[in-house]
């Protein structure tokens, strides 16, 4: 985006290329949001695991352990999927920006 400074002073700008760059920025923003979701899911998994060490009657403790283990497993899967989706969105944003910027700078 810092390379757009020289383009902004030109008299004519192709708006379709600006639209492509803004969609690349949208991919970057979605990737950052999914990275935040991945971090949140990882923290939720750690909270679920920390609840495994509770004191109480054996029957209640086993039920809590099972629920916490299932919640931790789900949170870890969500974290992994969100991280992969974030990486994919970042890569597609980079690809779109790298294909659009040369055309924009040539004009």
The per-residue pLDDT for range 37-70, each reduced to its tens digit, is 888 888 888 887 776 666 667 777 777 788 888 8
pLDDT recorded at residue 29: 84
Q: Name the DSSP letter for residue 30.
A: H
Q: Using CA atoms, how far apart are residues 25 and 19, in angstroms rounded to an integer?
A: 10
In this prediction, residues 20-41 reach a mean pLDDT of: 83
Containing domain of residue 7, as a range?
Answer: 2-106
**In this predicted structure, what is the pLDDT of residue 12?**
63
Q: Does 10 score more than 80 pLDDT? A: no
Please state the domain count of the chain: 1
Write a three-state SS string for 40-62. HHHHHHHHHHHCCCCCCCHHHHH
- Say which residue, 100 or 40, is predicted with more confidence: 40
Averaged pLDDT score across all residues of the chain = 76
**Residue range 72-80: mean pLDDT, rounded:** 86
With beta carbons less than 8 A apart as the criterion, state whether 41 and 73 touch.
no
């Amino acid at each position: 985006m810092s390379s757009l400074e020289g383009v902004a002073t030109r008299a004519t700008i192709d708006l379709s290329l600006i639209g492509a760059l803004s969609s690349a920025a949208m991919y970057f923003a979605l990737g950052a949001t999914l990275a935040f979701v991945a971090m949140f899911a990882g923290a939720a998994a750690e909270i679920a695991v920390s609840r495994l060490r509770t004191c109480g009657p054996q029957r209640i403790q086993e039920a809590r352990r099972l629920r916490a283990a299932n919640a931790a497993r789900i949170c870890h899967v969500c974290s992994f999927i969100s991280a992969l989706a974030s990486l994919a969105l970042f890569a597609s944003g980079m690809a779109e920006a790298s294909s659009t910027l040369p055309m924009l700078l040539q004009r």
